Amino acid sequence: MGWAVLYRVRRLWTVLVMVSVLAGLWQAGRVVLPAAHVAWTWWAASEDPAALARLELAERVSEARIGQEIDAAVAQRDLDLAQSFLALAEAERVPVAPARKAAVKALEDGQTWESTKAFARGAFIGDGEGLSGMAGAFTADVVGIGDVRDLVREGWHAARGEAVDEILVGLSAVGLAVTGATWAMAGTPAPVRAGLTLVKTARKAGRLSAPLAASVGGLLRTAVDMPGLKRALASVGKFELSEARSAALAAVRTERLAPLAAMGEDAAKLYRRAGYRAVDDVLASARSGPEIARFARLSEVYGTGTRAVMKLCGRGAILLSKSLAHIFGWLFAALGWVWSVASAAAAFGRWLARVTPPRRRRRVPVEACGAEPALP
């Protein structure tokens, strides 16, 4: 009798332990599995800028935040940014007060004359700002005037023994080569030409980030004969423009222009979809050509709202902002949870097989098996 009671107590204790383990696994699963799902979502989106931006915006976009950003943009007379936030609000279906829309419209009506001045400054000086300024700079560069003008300027520096901006000189030389191809091919390389103008304008304005400037400089040293180009600058300093133009074109290794052409094309796509100020912000923060390409992919989805996305998310709009330790920590926790559940299920199955009495096989009469009955 004592052994039977002890056996029952032990079995009851085992059942209580197993119930406790299952309850603990249930509670752990409620914490681990949702967090692991979120971590996997971030990891799966790491190569898709638009997906990353959606995840970032889900944590940042609200009616109050959008309203504050529009008010700040209007106060700074940044029409482009204000319009970008309006576009983002429409895309995310966030309501905007009519008074804020009216303030943006009033700011737009007051900038017509400024646009005209920006076009002229871009065409004659090459450092235009905004859509009109970039249109002026592109108009000058596409016919070669802007590139020769910049070579003349750097030639003066070289003739006076001053420092020469090799990136600006290299981009001008490459621009002349692409301009020739643009005219020869009836405008096919025009997007590349526009993109290089954007990069060059950012360089002159001091807006090109240091890592991106180093990357562009490396690409130019590969694609351009810099010593030969510097010799051409001496001719530019003496106002021998046609000779300097020919020397600059001869210094360009056209077969090595692919990476620069890709960068220019990506910048042009971004400009076409999101505007000049978005390109300016990208060139001030990007560290390489591939990052410009990721921003261009982002603009495919958000268009004119791209600059607002960048303002809210920063580099998190194109790069994974969550730490890998955080992501993989939750993923490994989920794997550990699955292993624990499998182990507990296996242990429960073994215990159940041990405590369950085996079923007795029912004896079947010989006649039921088809055997002939024994003779009397």
Q: DSSP secondary structure string, 187-224?
A: TTTHHHHHHHHHHHHHHHTT-S-HHHHHHHHHHHHHHB
Q: Please say whether the beta carbons of 318 and 66 come within 8 A.
A: no
The pLDDT of 108-120, averaged and rounded, is: 57
Which of 279, 305, 285 is closest to 53 using CA atoms? Answer: 305
Residues making up the chain, counted from first to last: 376
Residue 187: band (very low, low, confident or very high) from pLDDT cuts 50, 70, 90: very low
3-state SS class at 356: coil
Cα separation of 287 and 270, whole Å? Answer: 16
Average pLDDT, whole number, for the chain?
78
Q: Is 252 helix (H, G, I), strand (E, B) or coil?
A: strand
Segment 166-178 shows an average pLDDT of 84
286: amino acid identity, one letter: A
On the 0-12 / 13-18 / 19+ scale of CB atoms within 10 A, 373 is exposed
**pLDDT tens-digit map of 207-216:** 889 999 999 9
- Residue 279: closest CA among 191, 366, 177: 191
- Specify whether the CB–CB gap between 204 and 126 falls below 8 A: yes
Alpha-carbon distance 236 to 242, whole Å? 9
Model confidence at 168: pLDDT above 90? no
b/e map of 332-354 (b: 16 or more CB within 10 Å)? ebbeebeebbeeeeeeeeeeeee
pLDDT tens sequence across 243-268? 667 777 778 888 888 888 899 899 98
Q: Tell me the pLDDT tens digit for each residue of 45-82.
A: 888 888 889 988 988 899 999 999 999 999 998 888 99
DSSP 3-state of 175: helix
Provide, rounded to the nearest whole percent, the portion of the chain with pLDDT above 70: 73
CB proximity list for 311: less than 8 A, separation 6 or greater = 69, 81, 84, 85
Cβ contacts of 85-90, under 8 Å, gap ≥ 24: 85/305, 85/308, 85/311, 87/302, 87/303, 87/304, 87/305, 87/308, 88/61, 88/302, 88/305, 88/308, 88/309, 90/305
Contact 201, 190 (CB under 8 A): no
Q: Which residues contact 213 (CB under 8 A, 6 or more apart)?
A: 167, 203
Position 242 pLDDT exceeds 80:
no
Range in 2-6, 57-61, 76-80, 229-233 with the lowest mean pLDDT: 2-6
Separation between Cα atoms, residue 202 and residue 168, nearest integer Å: 10
Q: Which two tokens stand for residue 193?
A: 């030409």
- pLDDT band, very low/low/confident/very high, at 4 (cuts 50, 70, 90): low
User: pTM, whole model, 2 decimals?
Assistant: 0.73
